[in-house]
Amino acid sequence: MTVTRFAPSPTGLLHVGNIRTALHNWMLARKAGGRFLLRIDDTDAERSREEFVEAIRADLAWLGLAPDGETRQSARLAIYDEAFERLRAAGRVYPCYETPQELDLKRKVLLGRGLPPIYDRAALALTDADHARMAAEGQAPHWRFLLDHAQPIEWHDGIRGPQHFDPASLSDPVVRRADGSWLYMLPSAIDDVEMGVTDVLRGEDHVSNTAAQLQMFAALGAAGFGEGNMPRFAHEALLVGREGKLSKRLGSLSGQALREAGIEPQALVALLARLGTSQPVEPIADRAALVETYDLGTFGRAPARFDEDELARVNQGIVHQLSFDEVADRLPEGMDAGAWLAVRPNLEKVSDAHDWWRVVTGPIELPVFDQETRAFLSEAQGALVWSDNAWATWTAALKDSTGRKGKALFLPLRQALTGQDAGPEMARLLPLLGETTVRRRLRRAAGED
């Protein structure tokens, strides 16, 4: 069974880049009839916040990306300890004592020589006596994973194709801090093994992480942790905004901010589902249709640009498809299905319905009409015969009696009845206004009331 996972760190709000990753993992699982898991990567106790955990859940619920299971890394520390001890016994993790300042100096020296800033493995030369001395001085080590330089790293990426890394070009990654807390790399690999994750789909900024983690998977299997199975990997191009790379701190593009701004979840899903692929972005509300056309083979390598104007366009298209039942709890009191259908074609957001309902219920602000227009509106009162087809018969009669047509005929009537130059079809609005309101507004516009 295909098993995917979304593994956010609860150190900030999800932005559209994170949401896109979650969505694509959800779609990958759904298309294969598999499982989509949520894993909260909260090993960074200092920066993780419970409010962000709740925000992550709220965003996924709003988008309809219900996980088939949820777990938290903070509840899995014993599992990491067991795997770590197996790797230590196998010689695949080793203690180091350099301070951040010492490591920074080493990097600067290497860069100054025109060399890549790769860790020199100096800690491997420490003797038992050195370790004893460090312990006696109260220095706790941090731990690195020992990459096997004799084993080239290769995999077929689901988006990027064949990938090749020389492990000697990578630093042995630090996997555990001196205080015993965990960094991202090893716990993530342990979880993927232990949770049976079959497919890891994430941003291309994780490609070098994958290279190191592939050796971690192999080492865990050799140490008897799990069955030695490795997930399939795919790395999608990063999502960029108008100002470059997206950030968790770019609040205007967070799921919460977009929700509060009136963006429909179907619109965000429709946009992000195909952004960065060769498939057209369209206001498709049917999740099943999006899932059916989901294909990693359509993903491109170039960064995908998130455009808020494009989101607004897609959102408008989605709003125009929403039924009354889907929005009833967000509409103003008294607005029924007929009123919703009348104003829907003119809405960008559902909340705009409130503005048009105020036009219906009044009061409205009228433009200043000249004497000729007021005379026309006065004549219009007498020509109005109320019926189920009032607008068509009324305007036809006025056309015959006044000779007016087109804008000269329709615009003054719209302005007199709505105070607006454009809007929903008047044939739909007239029944909502009712005969009494229509005649009262005509009299006022003609200067007779």
For residue range 208-227, list pLDDT tens digits in order.
999 999 999 999 999 988 77
For the chain, how far is it from start to end, CA to CA, in angstroms? 74
Residue 251 above 60 pLDDT? no
Residue 246's pLDDT band (cuts 50, 70, 90): low
In order, the DSSP letters of 359-399 are: HHHS--PPPPPPHHHHHHHHHHHHH---STTHHHHHHHHHH
Q: Which tokens sit at 272?
A: 């992000």
Residues 345 and 382 in one domain: no
Q: Is 106 annotated as a binding residue?
A: no
Which of 201-215, 246-260, 325-339, 393-407 has the least mean pLDDT?
246-260
Q: Tell whether 352 and 407 lie within a shared domain.
A: no
The answer to whether residues 371 and 355 belong to one domain is no
Q: Are residues 386 and 356 in the same domain?
A: no
Mark which of 333, 360, 387 sits at the end of a domain.
360
* % of the chain surpassing 70 pLDDT: 98
> Within this chain, do residues 374 and 346 fall inside the same structural domain, yes or no?
no
Claim to verify: residue 380 and residue 441 sit in the same structural domain: yes
Which tens digits make up the pLDDT trace of 286-311? 999 999 999 999 999 999 999 999 99
* Domain assignment present for 355: yes
Q: What's the length of the chain?
A: 449
Dist CA 175 CA 98 (whole Å): 14
| Residue 175: strand, helix, or coil | strand
- Let me know if residue 433 belongs to a domain: yes
Report, as an integer, the average pLDDT of 53-64: 97
Domain final position from 313, 332, 360: 360
| Per-residue confidence (pLDDT) for residue 249, from 0 to 100 | 47
Residues near 439 by Cβ (< 8 Å), separated by ≥ 6?
Answer: 381, 384
Q: Using 50, 70 and 90 to split pLDDT, how confident is the model at 155?
A: very high
* 43 inside domain: no
- Any domain includes 221: no
Clarify whether residues 439 and 375 are in a common domain.
yes
Using the predicted structure, report yes or no on whether residue 203 has a pLDDT greater than 50.
Answer: yes
* 432, 384: one domain: yes
- Among candidate residues 344, 360, 376, the one where a domain is terminated: 360
DSSP 36-77: EEEEE----TTT--HHHHHHHHHHHHHHT---SEEEEGGG-H
Tally of structural domains, the chain: 2
419-422 LR contacts (CB < 8 Å, sep 24+): 419/359, 419/364, 419/365, 419/366, 419/367, 420/359, 422/346
Of the listed ranges 8-17, 35-44, 239-248, 322-331, the least confidently predicted one is: 239-248
In a domain, 346, yes or no: yes
User: Is residue 259 within 8 Å of 29, Cβ to Cβ?
Assistant: no
Please tell me the predicted confidence (pLDDT) of residue 245.
66
- Average pLDDT of the residues in 105-115: 95
pLDDT at 68 over 70: yes
Q: What is the model's pLDDT at position 253? A: 86
Question: Is residue 212 classed exposed, middle or buried when 0-12, 13-18 and 19+ CB atoms within 10 A define those classes?
Answer: buried
Domain assignment present for 52: no
338 with 382, same domain: the answer is no
Identity of the amino acid at 174: V
Q: What is the reported pLDDT for 244?
A: 67
Residue 193 lies in a domain: no
Q: What is the domain extent for residue 337?
A: 324-360
Query: At 371, which CATH number?
Result: 1.10.10.350
Query: Is 353 a domain residue?
Result: yes
Are 410 and 439 found together in one domain?
Answer: yes
